[in-house]
Amino acid sequence: MPAANTDNIFSLPRIPRPDSVTTRYRSVMEVIDAPTKLEGEGFKVRRPFPSADMQTADPFLLLDHLGAVEYSPGEAKGAPWHPHRGFETVTYIMDGAFQHHDSTGGKGLIADGATQWMTAGAGILHEEMPTEQLIMQGGLFHGVQLWVNLPKKLKWTQPRYQDIASARVLLLASHDAGAVVRLIAGDLAGHKGPGVTWTPISYAHASISPRARLETPWPKDFNSMVYVLAGHGAVGPERRPVREGQLAVFGAGDAVWVEADMRQESRSPSLEVLLLGGSPIREPVVFYGPFVMNTKDEIQQAVDDFRSGRLGLTPAVSIEA
Ligand code: MN
């Protein structure tokens, strides 16, 4: 996959192996099979959260895993103009590309290992579509979108963007160089990723070679989850088996443990995982489609503001007006 990579893993800064005597590895609380949903114009995603209990993922709201899929010509679909308020969307594309436009006139291409971080805050309209080339010719697509909640005091912040090019992602190696870790945001073992976050989180994509093990310190006050993008492996000191499309939720501790099985599939020679966690916000969450607020009244206000154009106008609507 063309996600950020290196041709010399031994040159990368290492994540030191946690001390086996003093470290409390986080054990696995549950493994969830991500259900399949239809999103946007009707493309399939796997959505490991939200689950019934919104507390499990806090400060995260939603994770959508799109692909890996080999589109036929004419098959690629996206999400046409829609609003957001009250949180941040983090779109990480490993293969293929998404074209983005928004109601402030912003636009950009997210492709091949890049991340777009959009703070919707007080509100914005945008569209997220495959490129013309991907629609016409078909091709490989693999990406994820993570929704990060904002605390009450930041829900009305001005919209902002961070475009994190593939080359800016911080590459790290595990202690024995059996895994490469792409740190997108937050801290990992004292290293800092490029993403600037309102809500403290750590977010990384690791490729773990067959039989290798990634052990990494993880902030005590963060929750911790591992989502499997591809491959087979095991998590936690109890070595609970996990495979593509499964989310492991960890309990308390200082460090996370993920290892790859010896046998992997030819289409993905390594175990590919997202490591994610953050500082729980612990506020009421009212989730209504593209709006995430603290009360039902605030949701009603978001719906009214959207209908009356106060979240912004799409270019087409602006022309008609
Ligand atoms: Mn969106």
Q: Residue 79 sits in a domain of what CATH number? A: 2.60.120.10
Centre a 10 Å sphere on the Cβ of residue 290 and count the other Cβ atoms it contains: 21
Task: Tell me if 205 sits within 8 A of 3, measured CB to CB.
Answer: yes
- Look at phi and psi of residue 309 and say left if phi exceeds 0, alpha if psi is from -120 to 50, else beta: left
Q: How far is the CA of 92 from the centre of ligand 1 (A)?
A: 13
Range of the domain at 186: 11-310
* pLDDT in the model for residue 319: 46
User: What total of structural domains would you count in the chain?
Assistant: 1
From 78, 90, 3, select the one nearest 45 (Cα to Cα). Answer: 78
Confidence of residue 55 (pLDDT cuts 50, 70, 90): confident
- Look at phi and psi of residue 239 and say left if phi exceeds 0, alpha if psi is from -120 to 50, else beta: left
Is 134 inside a domain boundary?
yes
The secondary structure element, H or E, covering residue 298 is: helix 296-307
Helix (H, G, I), strand (E, B) or coil at 166: helix
Q: How far is the CA of 257 from the centre of ligand 1 (A)?
A: 32
pLDDT tens-digit map of 98-118? 999 998 888 889 998 999 999
Q: How far is the CA of 13 from the centre of ligand 1 (A)?
A: 35
Q: How far is the CA of 127 from the centre of ligand 1 (A)?
A: 7
Is 52 inside a domain boundary?
yes
* pLDDT in the model for residue 4: 84
Q: Quick check: 84 pLDDT over 90?
A: yes
Is 315 inside a domain boundary?
no
From 164, 212, 215, select the one nearest 192 (Cα to Cα). Answer: 164
From 115, 95, 232, select the one nearest 183 (Cα to Cα). Answer: 115
End-to-end CA distance of the chain: 44
Is 34 inside a domain boundary?
yes
Average pLDDT, the chain: 93
Q: CA 151, 155, 158, 159 torsion: positive or negative? A: positive
Is 3 inside a domain boundary?
no
Higher pLDDT, 319 or 122: 122
Q: How far is the CA of 75 from the centre of ligand 1 (A)?
A: 20
As separate numbers, helices (DSSP H) first and strands (DSSP E) second, the chain gives 3, 26
C-alpha 228/C-alpha 214 separation (Å) is 14
Prediction pTM value: 0.95
C-alpha 37/C-alpha 158 separation (Å) is 30
Q: How far is the CA of 90 from the centre of ligand 1 (A)?
A: 10
pLDDT tens-digit map of 160-212? 889 999 999 999 999 999 999 999 999 999 999 999 989 999 999 999 999 99
Q: How far is the CA of 82 from the centre of ligand 1 (A)?
A: 6
Is 6 inside a domain boundary?
no
Is 1 inside a domain boundary?
no
* pLDDT in the model for residue 2: 65
Is 131 inside a domain boundary?
yes
Q: How far is the CA of 215 from the centre of ligand 1 (A)?
A: 34
138-162 burial by CB neighbour count: b if 16+ within 10 A, else e? Answer: bbebbbbbbbbbbeeebbeeebeeb
Q: Quick check: 321 pLDDT over 60?
A: no
pLDDT tens-digit map of 227-257? 999 999 999 999 999 999 999 999 999 999 9
